[in-house]
A = this chain, B = another copy of it.
Amino acid sequence: MPRHADPALPERRRGQILDAARECFRERGFRLTTIEEICAEARISPGALYRYFDSKADIIAAIALDARAEAEAMLDRVNGSEGLIAGLAELARVFFETFDGDGDAALLADIWAEAARDPLLAKALQQRDQIAAGRLAAAIERAQRDGSIYPALPASESAEALLACLEGMAMRRALRRESGATEAVRRFRTFALHILKPKR
């Protein structure tokens, strides 16, 4: 008898469920979507879902960590990009577009609300965030050594402020149901200019 009929099945099922959940959360938010709806969307039974996830909260936790992994990848691109400011603007564009006023913005708030209550999720997100902030700080330091920006502020502090502003702006956009990222990107860019003070 075969130990695993299909070794890739668990991963596939998880993806299937997460996709369905993301779709549902985007439409109705975490609180208002039911497990039954996720199951219908994923074409799976409740019993099967609970084989792959411990709870409803566990599902949004997985989504949150996925999103953070994407953010890290984005920051890698910032680090590799030509201009620091241009890279940051690009980061902001992707971030604002991902968490757009229409649907996903609420997802961001859901994630935070969940993290504020779930110490395990908070810790996991925090670790991811530390990595992200570290990469941004590294990019800033590099630019400072290049001499292309003004080295007044500690890099880690600048990175922290930039991320706080990015997330704060995303929240405020969500509240206003803003969509269309270009104006917000411009604002974030001028903001970054004032924090980082590029020399030319």
Contact = CB atoms under 8 A, between A and B. Distances in A.
Nearest to A166: B168
Interface size range on A against B: 35 or more
Contacts of A168: 163-169, 171
Contact of A112 (B112, B129, B190): B112
B113 A175 contact: no
A117 B122 contact: no
Given A161-B191, A194-B194, A195-B194, A175 B116 contact: yes
Given A164-B169, A194-B153, A176 B116 contact: no
A167 B172 contact: yes
A163 B175 CA distance: 13
Given A157-B190, A168-B171, A194-B153, A117 B176 contact: no
Interface string A103-131: 00110111011011100001001100100
A162 to B, nearest CB: 9
